[in-house]
Amino acid sequence: MQRVAVIVFPGSNCDAETIAAARQAGSDAYRVWHRDADLKRPDVVILPGGFSYGDYLRAGAIARFSPVMTAVTEHARAGGPVLGICNGFQILCEAGLLPGGLMRNARLRFLSRLVRVHVEATDTPFTCGYEPGAVLAVPIAHGEGRYVVDARTAAELEAGGRVVWRYTGENPNGSTNAIAGVSSPGRNVVGIMPHPERRNAPVLGGEDGARVFLSMEARYATQHAVDVRAVGDRHLRV
């Protein structure tokens, strides 16, 4: 069982579902208030959806300066897994942990509905449990979800296999190359606009999002099993 820190900013509103989804996958998930400097030794950090600081100035612009972000940045720089969902994605972009930025939807309307995404990268801690090329039905709920990057960065993302999820069928918000989620060069930091925590059980209409949380728990369990075998080998040699 891994420790999952879910950061709560003033205006976060998906922390409860995110914690429930992580627990459903077997993780020990807990909240960390944005003013805390201590993440309490997490294996994974999740920045949940919501409207931190009311989206004032720009979505995520003020939250990125919250005291907790120093520890989140250190965790990310050390290779620790970090997932930003929706507003969390916006915060990671504002903090410079992911490239690009998120702007008003091309057709200006707030969108709250199911979309289809294509799983393009399965080498991240949050998507390693999906089949490459899988198509998922997951909800979006955003007014500022149009992911934009300059042409050079877009080419780098594409060439480096860093587009994690891509809208398929239609591009709901007009994002560059229909990108719905990207990863850092090291794959450990991932941002996605759709909400997998809202689609992780049949009672919610589907469970296409569940593997985001199962992926990170399975990855941790595998790593832990390797550690145990290594210890066992040493013991046998003694």
- d(CA 30, CA 176) in angstroms, rounded, equals 34
Q: Comparing C-alpha atoms, which of 220, 209, 235, 187 is closest to residue 116?
A: 209
Residue of 42, 100, 129, 194 that binds another protein (CB under 8 A): 100
Find the catalytic residue in 75, 86, 94, 217: 86
- 3-state DSSP call for residue 3? strand
Active site residue 158: no
Q: Closer to another protein at the Cβ: 33 or 56?
A: 56
- The 45-84 site mask, x for binding another protein (CB under 8 A), equals ------------xx--xx--x-------------------
Among 146, 162, 198, 219, binds another protein (CB under 8 A): 146
111 binds another protein (CB under 8 A): no
Is 118 among the catalytic positions? Answer: no
Q: Which is nearer to another protein, 123 or 150 (CB)?
A: 150
For the question of residue 17 being annotated catalytic, the response is no
* Non-local CB neighbours of 124 within 8 Å, separated by 6+ positions: 164, 183, 187, 188, 190, 215
* Closest residue by Cα to residue 99 from 41, 27, 147, 51: 147
Burial environment of residue 197 by CB neighbours within 10 A (0 to 12, 13 to 18, 19 or more) = buried
Which C-beta is closer to another protein: that of 74 or that of 150? 150
Q: Is 108 in the site for another protein (CB under 8 A)?
A: yes
- Of the candidates 1, 20, 103, 111, which one interacts with another protein according to CB under 8 A? 103
Q: In which residue are the tokens 């005291």 written?
A: 67
Give the number of residues in contact with another protein, rule: CB under 8 A.
Answer: 21
Q: Of 100 and 129, which has the nearer Cβ to another protein?
A: 100
The first and second tokens of residue 86, run together, are: 């929706």
